[in-house]
Structure 1
């Protein structure tokens, strides 16, 4: 059963939705960018329904200044009080809860890290935002126009394996100078994030996290590619020494895990709730 409710945060009334279920482990869904709690194409509402059907209560909300909530929209960096109030409201609305796991995509994932420690038992972070601006809105159209170097390298490697591209090269139909500029990026090693940058801040917070973290990456998504490039050393360490942080990848370009990718996303989330 889906129930609508509200809770207070900083003098504003925030709108929320609870998908009720009897389980003692619940999922808090945090929307990214200026997206309302239903998500892109109702993706988060459908995810909540799927998770609740598996027995886990799910709480979604609009932060201040978004959707049906009152207040001023201060962006993901100022959403700490919203997150704390939402967690408290979730526990009050579902008093049987003994564990709360939070899921966020894009800058919602970054917000969950930035505002630690929170009263949460685990984090699921999808395609975390690392660009130096106000964040994304969970749509590929508003991502930076130029892909990160890792995406360029992947593109050229794919072309080198494509017989049609090699045939065009032999026929002289390829700009050789442009090709060599792209190939020159293949041998470059990833560099650590710039000191004081958002990526550097997230890297440090991951190293000091207070609870288990699962990072979900759609490897064809530019936001995920930027995260993988900027935190390449940390991710490599996690892959080699799995512990409280784990990274899972899906070969997909979908930033919001649309269509069939939603099944993969739901499956990974349910694994962390069991």
Structure 2
């Protein structure tokens, strides 16, 4: 596996491990992981970002985000091999990498913190509910939608068919020719259980203009146990209401990086 180590030559006991979401590689969309790693290293924390098997420049076959536990452990081992003074590791992950990091963390006492950006809890039913709640309502209330209707530019039949499909999926009905999402069943429950088993600090970074983040928010609101868990003092939440999934504007990414560094300094 190929990795890049950002070493500020500090003697800090804590380091950051960046696990990328798929399909991505260690640079990230619009080089977000490069910019994150450099900024965190400039603040004094060593950072390792790597391509797990089958992604980017690493060898092997990609078998799914929930099968990268050995890859994460190898990265933690390598980080400590190169920097023996590092005793605490914080994992930063986006999307399915955030969920994979949460699955991994309870089994490795070296992991003391998790920074989880827009965690992936996708299910067909959950996606449909999020689409209905966060996409269709916003679209119907937008001026652009009604301008398209008046100009005759909207494919009414196609839109109605899409809406009906999402309504059925949200109700849990089976659809003909539907393609199941890999590893989807129980992701929210598995994530809740993993975070419950993990005793470290957790930073949740949630975008406001992102279906993945919206589905995570809906899943946590629907679970009393999840709500109670996230109410613990070790959980911190940072919302970027205007941001998209990958923090594609400089101001969004800068805010995300700044919050990550301040959170690392808080404990």
Q: Same fold (TM over 0.5)?
A: yes
Distance in 1, Cα, partners of 2:54 & 2:217: 31
Q: Is 1:251 the equivalent of 2:241?
A: yes
How far off is 1:222 after superposition? 0.6
SS in 1 for 2:107: coil
Distance in 2, Cα, partners of 1:87 & 1:149: 40
Q: Report 1:94-105 matches (<5 A).
A: 94-105=83-94
Distance in 2, Cα, partners of 1:197 & 1:98: 33
| Residue number among 146, 151, 162 corresponding to 2:134 in the alignment | 151
Q: Is 1:60 the equivalent of 2:49?
A: yes
Q: Is 1:263 the equivalent of 2:220?
A: no
How far off is 1:153 after superposition? 7.5
| Counterpart residue number, 2:170 | none
For structure 2, which runs of at least 5 residues remain unmatched after alignment?
A: 151-155, 168-183
SS in 2 for 1:227: helix
How far off is 1:120 after superposition? 0.5
Q: 1:215-246 CA deviation, whole Å, 9 max, x = no partner?
A: 1100211100011011214564356x342222
| Residue number among 24, 38, 57 corresponding to 1:49 in the alignment | 38
- The structure with more helix, counted as a fraction of residues: 2
| Counterpart residue number, 1:192 | none
SS in 2 for 1:97: coil
* 1:64–1:72 CA contact under 8 A, matched in 2: yes
Say if 1:243 and 1:150 are closer, same or farther in 2 by CA, change over 3 A.
Answer: farther
Say if 1:204 and 1:41 are closer, same or farther in 2 by CA, change over 3 A.
Answer: same
Distance in 2, Cα, partners of 1:146 & 1:233: 12
Aligned length: 227
Q: 1:81-134 CA deviation, whole Å, 9 max, x = no partner?
A: 00001001011112221321110000000101122322301001000011148x
| Counterpart residue number, 1:16 | 3
| Residue number among 166, 176, 187 corresponding to 1:198 in the alignment | 187
Question: Which consecutive segments of 4 or more residues in structure 1 shift more than 6 A?
Answer: none
SS in 2 for 1:96: coil
* 1:117–1:210 CA contact under 8 A, matched in 2: no
| Counterpart residue number, 1:120 | 111
Q: Report 1:167-186 matches (<5 A).
A: none
RMSD over aligned Cα, in angstroms?
3.1
SS in 1 for 2:194: helix
TM-score, normalising length: structure 2: 0.74
SS in 2 for 1:230: helix
| Residue number among 194, 216, 220 corresponding to 1:227 in the alignment | 216
SS in 1 for 2:193: helix
TM-score, normalising length: structure 1: 0.73
